[in-house]
Structure 1
Amino acid sequence: MADMKQELKSVDDQQNYSTSDPKNMQELTQHVQSLLQGMQDKFQTMSDQIITRIDEMGNRIDDLEKNIADLMTQAGVEGPDK
């Protein structure tokens, strides 16, 4: 009789688990997707910031090269041939 009760309890546990499992799995999936989307958004923001800073540095380097060339011209020094 105890074995029969144990088997029924096991079947009930399996049924409860299986009926709640899709809901929990769906919630977990949504949570994971939300976390991944948040990480992707942050990564994209950081990537955009890095690219912007690299572009700004490139512009500053171009300006420095032009200023150095102008100064060398004013000083009468020939710049390196390019």
Structure 2
Amino acid sequence: MAETDPKSVQDLTGVVQTLLQQMQDKFQTMSDQIIGRNILFTRIDDLEKNIADLMTQAGVEEVEGENKPKEGEAS
């Protein structure tokens, strides 16, 4: 049985190393996705701010939500 123990330990070590590498890969992928989303949301926020600034400069009132007609206007 002493001869099979080192092989079993080596097999177990290999399995554990493989699992740890897979976990690291998944963690890295998730981390990259989170960072990518944060960058995307930052860009969207910047774009919305720029549009709002342009609308203000053009004298257009910003309407919350969808494009709703002002009071007294036909829809």
TM-score normalised to structure 1 length? 0.69
RMSD over aligned Cα atoms? 1.5
What is the distance in 2 between the residues matched to 1:76 and 1:28?
Answer: 68
For residue 51 of structure 1, the aligned residue among 32, 35, 59 is 35
What is the distance in 1 between the residues matched to 2:56 and 2:17?
Answer: 58
- 1:63 — aligned with what? 47
* In the alignment, structure 1 residue 42 sits paired with structure 2 residue 34: no
Unaligned runs of 5+ in 1: 1-15, 78-82
Equivalent pairs, count: 61
What is the distance in 2 between the residues matched to 1:23 and 1:64?
Answer: 61
Superposed structure 1 runs of 4+ greater than 6 Å apart: none
Unaligned runs of 5+ in 2: 62-75
For residue 8 of structure 2, the aligned residue among 9, 21, 24 is 24
What is the distance in 1 between the residues matched to 2:60 and 2:11?
Answer: 73
Structure of greater Rg: 1
Compute the displacement of 1:76 (Å): 7.6
